[in-house]
Amino acid sequence: MADPINRGLDERLFQHIVESNLNAPYYQLIGIKTRALAPGRAEMVVMIDENRHTNPLGLVHGGMYTSLADAAMGNAVRSLGVAGVTVECSVSFLGPVSAGVELVGRGQVVKSGRNILFVEAEVWSDRLVARAHGVFFNTGPIEVD
- Map out the domains of the chain as residue ranges: 5-141
Closest to 141 in 3D by CA, of 69, 100, 99, 84: 84
CA 4/CA 132 separation, integer angstroms:
23
CATH annotation of 5-141: 3.10.129.10
CA 99/CA 108 separation, integer angstroms:
26
pLDDT per residue over 88-139, tens digit each? 999 999 999 999 999 999 999 999 999 999 999 999 999 999 999 999 999 9
pTM, rounded to two decimals = 0.97
Residues 89, 141, 40, 124, Cα dihedral to 10°:
-40
Give the model's pLDDT for residue 2. Answer: 87
Give the model's pLDDT for residue 126. Answer: 96
Average of per-residue pLDDT values in the chain: 97
Q: Is the pLDDT of residue 1 over 80?
A: no
Average the pLDDT over 20-27 and give the result: 98
pLDDT tier at 83, thresholds 50, 70, 90: very high
